[in-house]
Amino acid sequence: MGLLSSLFGGGKPNEDQQAKQEKKNFEILKYDGIRARNMRQLPYAIKCFEQAIALNDEPETLQLLANAYIEAGRTDDARITLDRLVDKTPDNIQALLALASICYIQEDYESMDDACQKAIKLDETSAPAYYLAAKAARGMKNDLQAIVMLTKAIMQNEEYKEAYLLRAEVLWDMRQAKDAMNDLDKVLSVSPDEEDALLLKGRIHAALGQVEEAQSCFNQVLEVNPFNEKAYLLKGEMLMEQKEFDQAIEFYTEAIELMPQNAVLYQERGRIRLLKGDKEGSIEDMKKAIELNPDNEKLITGNYDNFKQNSAPGIY
């Protein structure tokens, strides 16, 4: 009978055996990938997951592969994998939100919004979906829509710190200082040392001419994190606006002692020295900044506008 089966197409037992072997291989590859990822061996984990989904593109393994790509900084591959996952499981809200996050990194705000709206349609109580939709709206320069989405996120989660902070940023872009401050106070009531909230609060105080309050915010950030570059730039700019050149130079010198490889700090100190009339000192700082960051064309041309380029618009 075995001979007849082999001669006349009785190959089903072999097909069943092959299917069982492929299933076994898939499980081995999948769990080897999980172990490798847990051990921070990302290249090997990715190879395992890739070979696993070649055998069976089941959703869990697709998600594992996408997560591994993200950790490895392979954004384009993560996007392709998440698109594949969403096509396979269109009701998977977490996959849609992960896809939206990748689209944000790629600055593809229209696709990001599309993924968010699909997630919201599936679950109108999803605060993260509204939050990501707001980030997409902001990317598309639609501040009013961003405010609407953030307000909906906060309605779903009244303790959503990130949503309050982003709404404060959007409100300040719209020069709604009072409403922005209210949101920042909410953030700081939950996290008193939240650096981004303190920096924005300081910027608003500075813009309103409330110098002492602004300095207090910047100083608090530096107490929490002495290596916060933005706090140095904001406080240094404020000192320059007050014509406190010596104090600003001393302040940047202290910052440089902490971060001697930071080209921006040399550039800003050089800018203040130039305003003070210390051309030689300014040139020394510019040379050092170029040495640390030779690819910065603004340094090479002596254009001291780094602060404005590297900060949000309308600080003062």
- The per-residue pLDDT string of the chain (316 residues; one tens digit each, 9 = 90 and over) reads 443 344 445 555 577 888 888 889 999 999 999 999 999 999 999 999 999 999 999 999 999 999 999 999 999 999 999 999 999 999 999 999 999 999 999 999 999 999 999 999 999 999 999 999 999 999 999 999 999 999 999 999 999 999 999 999 999 999 999 999 999 999 999 999 999 999 999 999 999 999 999 999 999 999 999 999 999 999 999 999 989 999 999 999 999 999 999 999 999 999 999 998 999 999 999 999 999 888 765 554 445 444 443 443 333 3
In the prediction, which pLDDT does 12 show?
58
Half-sphere exposure of 28 (CA within 13 A, CB side): 6
Q: Which domains does the chain have, with CATH numbers?
A: 158-242 (1.25.40.10), 256-300 (no CATH)
Cα→Cα distances 180→75, 143, 295, Å: 33, 13, 37
In the prediction, which pLDDT does 316 show?
39
Is the pTM for the entire model greater than 0.75? yes
In the prediction, which pLDDT does 297 show?
55
Q: 129-135 — which CB contacts under 8 Å span 24+ positions?
A: 129/93, 129/96, 129/97, 129/100, 130/156, 130/163, 131/160, 131/162, 131/163, 131/166, 132/97, 132/100, 132/101, 132/104, 133/100, 134/163, 134/166, 134/167, 134/170, 135/104, 135/166
In the prediction, which pLDDT does 20 show?
86
